[in-house]
A and B are shown apart, each in its own frame.
Chain A
Amino acid sequence: MSFVSRAVSAAAISLGAFTAAPSVSAAEPRNPECIAPAQPGGGFDITCKLAQASLQQSGAVKSQVRVSYMPGGIGAVAYNAVVGQRRAEPGTIVAFSAGSLLNLAQGKFGAYTEKDVRWVASIGADYGAVVVRNESEFKSLDGLMSAIKKDATSVIIGAGGTIGSQDWMKAAMAARAAGIDYKTMRFVAFEGGGDCATALQGGHVHVCMNDVGDSQAAIDGGAPLKLLAIFSEDRLPGKLAEVPTAKEQGFDIQWPIVRGFYVGPDVSDADYKWWADAFATTMQSPDYAAELQKRNLFPLPMTGEQTTAFVEERVAAYKKLAADFGLAVK
């Protein structure tokens, strides 16, 4: 699955290219607004708040970016609103995540495809992780996998989402890697990774397919949990450097969770470029790394056409995965 690494390295190269200060081509749109397509407090809210804080800090946007909420279907409601009624609002950016792209790929965004909006930027990423209790009998991913292989019903796998969601995909990919039918694994769907982590601490499930960011935050807070493996290409920086990737433990599973923004289809080229440049300027400002870290995100900077190419590649990959796992792709 080298498309991820290609995208990341391409992003790194272009980040270097940004050092030639991009010229701001259009005037700043009036009333800049960031739509978080979820309830307040979730991942999309964090994405919008990150943009709000860092765009202003870097000076790329002069007026305050305001956050509004439009929950529904990991972005489906917002996508339909922007493609349907709010096609040409230059000041409106909408947050998206890998979860949105996965639903988009499965046809859950209605009649619309990834070609229907203009992808502006990717501003950070999280990664999938395998989480167990501290005193768990599973010491490594290999141990977990051989237990599943021996008796698929002996391990209760929890996840923060239902069948077809990101967390289920991670579990299904793990099952496939262990060589068992994903339909025979013991799988329990919770509403959000936090609920799964709670059930894990209470001893109701054995392992959670969660994300690195939330899990590490819980562990930092003293929750008696540990990460068995991270679904990234290479080891992550900082204290996460101790946690091995799934790949180096012999299971080639990768699950980056990109977070970024799009604008409506009829937003002018000039305004589109203005946003892309604003994000480019912001992401190379010195404070940006700290802002990312505060929110438990890792760098994955991309702007403009590069984002579009990345999104298209991911959607195609998700479509294939969905088909592999026998999910109805409308």
Chain B
Amino acid sequence: MHTDRILGVAAIAVAAIMLAFGYGLEAPFAYEPTGPRAFPLIAAGMIALCGVILVWKPGEADPSVPPMPGRAIVALSGLLLAYALLFQPLGFVIATTVFMIPIAMIFGAKWWQGVLVGAVLSVSSFLLFDRVLDVVLPTGPLGGII
């Protein structure tokens, strides 16, 4: 299917969700006539309108968009999500070391280069941000040691 058509359908779906969860928004009482519902519904309506236009009259396909390397994209997205989820439980140093190795390798690093990047990046940025700049980072299981 044409990219613009997919985009249009997705936009209509987003608008439908916004409508479903936004329609019931009501204040018990308010001091102005607009209310909390108007803007979300206007946005939903406009998104739906854009979606309909995109489905109805999709633009020319852009030949400059390269084909999507599906497996690589899924792998990188998955790694990023896992990093986000385990950032706190594993602690910054472990999570960063573990996840930056495969991410570096996706971008062409050899395994030892990946290990180097992961280790150096995790330790140096922990020292810089947590110790020098006083940004509290999660320590995870290493909490008793570092």
| A320, CB-defined interface residue at 8 Å | no
Across the interface, which residues of B come within 8 angstroms of A185, CB to CB? 31
Which of the residues B28, B134, B135, B144 comes within 8 Å of A30, measured between beta carbons? B144
Given contacts A163-B27, A326-B28, A327-B28, contact A33 B144 (CB under 8 A): no
With A and B bound together, what is the CA distance between A33 and B144 in angstroms? 15
Question: Shortest distance in angstroms between A327's beta carbon and chain B's nearest beta carbon?
Answer: 7
Question: Shortest distance in angstroms between A95's beta carbon and chain B's nearest beta carbon?
Answer: 14
With A and B bound together, what is the CA distance between A66 and B136 in angstroms? 7
Across the interface, which residues of A come within 8 angstroms of B134, CB to CB? 66-67
Across the interface, which residues of B come within 8 angstroms of A186, CB to CB? 31
Across the interface, which residues of A come within 8 angstroms of B135, CB to CB? 68
Which of the residues A85, A189, A328 comes within 8 Å of B28, measured between beta carbons? A328
In the bound complex, do residue A68 and residue B136 qualify as a contact, i.e. CB atoms below 8 Å apart? yes
With A and B bound together, what is the CA distance between A186 and B135 in angstroms? 43
Question: Shortest distance in angstroms between A163's beta carbon and chain B's nearest beta carbon?
Answer: 7
Chain A residues bordering chain B, tally (CB within 8 A): 17
| B107, CB-defined interface residue at 8 Å | no
In the bound complex, do residue B31 and residue A187 qualify as a contact, i.e. CB atoms below 8 Å apart? yes
Question: Shortest distance in angstroms between A224's beta carbon and chain B's nearest beta carbon?
Answer: 27
Which residue of chain B has the shortest Cβ distance to A189 in the bound complex? B31
| B112, CB-defined interface residue at 8 Å | no
Chain A: residues with CB nearer than 8 A to chain B?
Answer: 30-31, 33, 66-68, 85, 163, 183, 185-189, 326-328
Across the interface, which residues of A come within 8 angstroms of B27, CB to CB? 163
Question: Shortest distance in angstroms between A56's beta carbon and chain B's nearest beta carbon?
Answer: 14
Chain B residues bordering chain A, tally (CB within 8 A): 12
Across the interface, which residues of B come within 8 angstroms of A67, CB to CB? 134, 136
Question: Shortest distance in angstroms between A309's beta carbon and chain B's nearest beta carbon?
Answer: 31
Which residue of chain B has the shortest Cβ distance to A185 in the bound complex? B31
In the bound complex, do residue B31 and residue A188 qualify as a contact, i.e. CB atoms below 8 Å apart? yes
CB pairs A–B below 8 angstroms (17 shown): A30-B143, A31-B139, A33-B136, A66-B134, A66-B136, A68-B135, A85-B88, A163-B27, A163-B29, A163-B30, A185-B31, A186-B31, A188-B31, A189-B31, A326-B28, A326-B29, A328-B28
Across the interface, which residues of A come within 8 angstroms of B28, CB to CB? 163, 326-328
With A and B bound together, what is the CA distance between A31 and B140 in angstroms? 13
Within 8 A of A (CB), among B81-101: 88
Within 8 A of A (CB), among B102-146: 134-136, 139, 143-144
With A and B bound together, what is the CA distance between A247 and B139 in angstroms? 51
In the bound complex, do residue A183 and residue B29 qualify as a contact, i.e. CB atoms below 8 Å apart? yes
With A and B bound together, what is the CA distance between A328 and B28 in angstroms? 8
Across the interface, which residues of B come within 8 angstroms of A328, CB to CB? 28
Across the interface, which residues of A come within 8 angstroms of B143, CB to CB? 30-31
With A and B bound together, what is the CA distance between A326 and B28 in angstroms? 8
With A and B bound together, what is the CA distance between A196 and B103 in angstroms? 48
Across the interface, which residues of B come within 8 angstroms of A183, CB to CB? 29
Which residue of chain B has the shortest Cβ distance to A68 in the bound complex? B136
Additional 11 contacts, C-beta under 8 A, given A66-B136, A189-B31: A31-B139, A67-B134, A67-B136, A68-B136, A85-B88, A163-B27, A163-B29, A186-B31, A187-B31, A326-B29, A328-B28
Question: Shortest distance in angstroms between B87's beta carbon and chain A's nearest beta carbon?
Answer: 13
Which residue of chain B has the shortest Cβ distance to A85 in the bound complex? B88
Ordered nearest first, which 7 A-B pairs have the shortest CB separation?
Answer: A68-B136, A187-B31, A183-B29, A66-B136, A33-B136, A66-B134, A328-B28
With A and B bound together, what is the CA distance between A31 and B136 in angstroms? 10
Across the interface, which residues of A come within 8 angstroms of B139, CB to CB? 31
With A and B bound together, what is the CA distance between A140 and B66 in angstroms? 71
Across the interface, which residues of A come within 8 angstroms of B144, CB to CB? 30
Across the interface, which residues of B come within 8 angstroms of A85, CB to CB? 88
Question: Shortest distance in angstroms between B35's beta carbon and chain A's nearest beta carbon?
Answer: 12
With A and B bound together, what is the CA distance between A31 and B143 in angstroms? 9
Which residue of chain B has the shortest Cβ distance to A183 in the bound complex? B29
Question: Shortest distance in angstroms between B26's beta carbon and chain A's nearest beta carbon?
Answer: 11
Question: Shortest distance in angstroms between B95's beta carbon and chain A's nearest beta carbon?
Answer: 15
Question: Shortest distance in angstroms between A308's beta carbon and chain B's nearest beta carbon?
Answer: 27
